[in-house]
Amino acid sequence: MVRHILAISGGGFSEEENAYIDEYLLKICRKNTPIKIGFVATASNDAPNYIENFYRAFQSERPSHLTIEDFKSDKIQDIVNDLDIIYVGGGNTQYMLKIWKETGFAHVLIDAYYRGVILAGISAGAMCWFGTCYSEKNEHEYEQFAGLGILKGSFCPHYNDEERRIAFDYWASSQKGGPIYKLNDNENLHFKNEKLVAKISSYK
């Protein structure tokens, strides 16, 4: 079973000028029929406008979304396994992972991945797949916490932001476990079977 993860630093349907990466994601799926793509907006606390934008962007496919309440369903594993792609939105990474682990949704995602469901996500939705995360604790502080560990190392989105870059570089200088990926907002990584196979950039 071929496994794919697309880690998006910035762009996608939330930024029209960088929406090219969504086209790349759909091509990974290699289906002639409409693609079943499910959106998870936990990191934004299921923000309605974010979910609406997702449906608008993928209206030619078979879009759906999963809320925090949906994670409690007895059928959640079957629902996720039936999708072609899971697309995780940005927001508060720590909050998202806390909810996933408390509800068991973290295990649902990992199981689906090893069954061939493509995982994709932007910002928080990209960091979460890695072993270690380093992100905002509050407005001015950052801290380290565990990701899902599907991919080794750590991922820093929005590296072009000066405050984030300084904080992340200071933290990364003391890290020894696995690769560290630093990406600007127009850069994205494609992993196949947990190996990096492509870096996709726009000319922004």
pLDDT at residue 50 in the model: 96
Beta bridge partners of 37: 63, 85
pLDDT at residue 66 in the model: 99
Concatenate the DSSP letters of all residues of 73-110 into one string.
-TTHHHHHHT-SEEEE--S-HHHHHHHHHHHTHHHHHH
Give Cα separations from 105 to 38, 96, 97, 101, 115 (angstroms): 14, 10, 9, 6, 15
pLDDT at residue 186 in the model: 86
Q: In this structure, are residues 187 and 18 in contact, taking their beta carbons and an 8 Å threshold?
A: no
Residue type, 40: V
Q: Which of 123, 152, 148, 146 is nearest to 133 (CA)?
A: 146
Q: Is 158 a residue of the active site?
A: yes
Q: In this structure, are residues 191 and 15 in contact, taking their beta carbons and an 8 Å threshold?
A: no
pLDDT at residue 18 in the model: 58
Q: Which of 9, 14, 44, 123 does the annotation list as catalytic? A: 123
Q: Examine the pLDDT at 16 and tell me if it is beyond 70.
A: no
Report, as an integer, the average pLDDT of 45-59.
96
**pLDDT tens digits for 79-97?**
999 999 999 999 999 999 9
- Which of 7-16, 51-60, 70-79, 114-123 has the lowest average pLDDT? 7-16
Report, as an integer, the average pLDDT of 164-170.
91
So what's the architecture of 4-201 in CATH? 3-Layer(aba) Sandwich (3.40)
Q: Examine the pLDDT at 140 and tell me if it is beyond 80.
A: no
Q: Global pTM? A: 0.94
Domain boundaries defined on the chain: 4-201
- Which of 33-37, 48-52, 70-74, 163-167 has the lowest average pLDDT? 163-167
Q: In this structure, are residues 164 and 190 in contact, taking their beta carbons and an 8 Å threshold?
A: no
What proportion of the chain, given as a percentage, has pLDDT over 70? Answer: 97
Report, as an integer, the average pLDDT of 124-130.
97
Using 50, 70 and 90 to split pLDDT, how confident is the model at 29?
very high
Q: Examine the pLDDT at 1 and tell me if it is beyond 90.
A: no
Q: Is 107 a residue of the active site?
A: no
**Cα(26)–Cα(22) distance, rounded to whole angstroms?**
6
Any idea of the CA torsion for 35, 41, 43, 49, to the nearest 10 degrees?
130
State both tokens at 64: 């759906």
State both tokens at 143: 């801290």
